[in-house]
Structure 1
Amino acid sequence: MKKIGVAGLQRELMKKTIETVAPGRFEVGMYNDMEAALKVKSGQLDYYIGACNTGAGAALSIAIAVIGYNKSGTIARPGIKAKEEQIAAMVAEGKVAFGLSVEHIEHAIPLLVAHLK
């Protein structure tokens, strides 16, 4: 079973959304940004998903510093919804840390987890 760490704003909603759209498919834990990033780096988690108001700054800054810029990407920004083809490309490239703005959690998380299965 793949393990996902959720961090940042609305962690509870992200966890609930993942468990609702992909029941039994992922083990989801709520962490602060540093804990989640370090757990991905060490192999204790498979993926990091962070949320903030922009989807790029606070959602990913620690993940980028710990895991690396090339392993991180923003999937949704304020006013710009997640696009399935963009998410598919990021996952295919090997990205493991994803950021999004809180306004898109209910739209973007189902698209993302569909590609992480």
Structure 2
Amino acid sequence: MSPLEQVLVAARKLSLAGKPPSLALIKASLGNSLPMPILVQGLQRFKSMSADEQAAIVVTTSAPAANVQSDDAMPTLAQLAEQVARLTANQQALVERISELEAKLSNKDPH
């Protein structure tokens, strides 16, 4: 695989991970093995490609950027607990609101 192809694959993997490809992210995923002009050229080429051309880039697990992960992709236990608490509170508020609306509806119902 040519250095330029490595940059294109790294950019595609970042894109698939939901991250906009940037020089810093590509350089971090490939290491310092490639010169900056190649990284710039590859990123420019990737950004100029259509969505179909980008989708045609073959992403293999043996490529250097195979394990691109975001630090914030894995929520912490505290974040999950906070999210569960918020969702539980929202659910309780919705249940109360539904009960109020049902009570109002039954009071208006002539049956």
TM-score by length of 1: 0.25
Which of these two proteins has the greater Rg computed from alpha carbons?
2
The structure with the largest helix share of the pair is: 2
Give the structure with the higher percent strand.
1
